[in-house]
A and B are shown apart, each in its own frame.
Chain A
Amino acid sequence: NAGVTQTPKFRILKIGQSMTLQCTQDMNHNYMYWYRQDPGMGLKLIYYSVGAGITDKGEVPNGYNVSRSTTEDFPLRLELAAPSQTSVYFCASSYSAHPDNEQFFGPGTRLTVL
Chain B
Amino acid sequence: AQSVAQPEDQVNVAEGNPLTVKCTYSVSGNPYLFWYVQYPNRGLQFLLKYITGDNLVKGSYGFEAEFNKSQTSFHLKKPSALVSDSALYFCAVRGSYSSASKIIFGSGTRLSIRP
CB-CB < 8 A to A58: which residues of B?
Answer: 101
Residue of A with least CB distance to B45: A105
The answer to whether A43 and B49 touch across the interface, beta carbons within 8 angstroms, is no
The answer to whether A48 and B101 touch across the interface, beta carbons within 8 angstroms, is yes
CB-CB < 8 A to B1: which residues of A?
Answer: none
How many angstroms from the CA of A103 to the CA of B51 in the assembled complex? 15
Instruction: Tell me how far the C-beta of A8 lies from the nearest C-beta in chain B, rounded to whole angstroms.
Output: 14
Task: Tell me which residues from 76 to 108 in chain A have a Cβ below 8 Å from any Cβ of chain B.
Answer: 90, 92, 97, 99-100, 102-108
Instruction: Tell me how far the C-beta of B97 lies from the nearest C-beta in chain A, rounded to whole angstroms.
Output: 9
Residue of A with least CB distance to B9: A40
Interface size on A, residues (CB 8 A): 25
Instruction: Tell me how far the C-beta of A66 lies from the nearest C-beta in chain B, rounded to whole angstroms.
Output: 13
Q: Which of B4, B41, B90, B98 contacts A107 (CB 8 A)?
A: B41
The answer to whether A97 and B99 touch across the interface, beta carbons within 8 angstroms, is yes
CB-CB < 8 A to A92: which residues of B?
Answer: 43-44
B35-54 vs A, CB cutoff 8 Å, 1 = contact: the mask equals: 01000011111100101000
Residue of A with least CB distance to B99: A97
Q: Which A residues are within 8 Å of any B CB, using their own CB?
A: 4, 31, 33, 40-43, 45, 48, 50, 56, 58-59, 90, 92, 97, 99-100, 102-108
Q: Which B residues are within 8 Å of any A CB, using their own CB?
A: 4, 9, 32, 34, 36, 41-46, 49, 51, 90, 94-96, 98-101, 103-108
The 9 closest A-B CB pairs, nearest first, are A105-B43, A97-B100, A42-B105, A99-B32, A102-B46, A99-B94, A105-B44, A43-B105, A100-B51
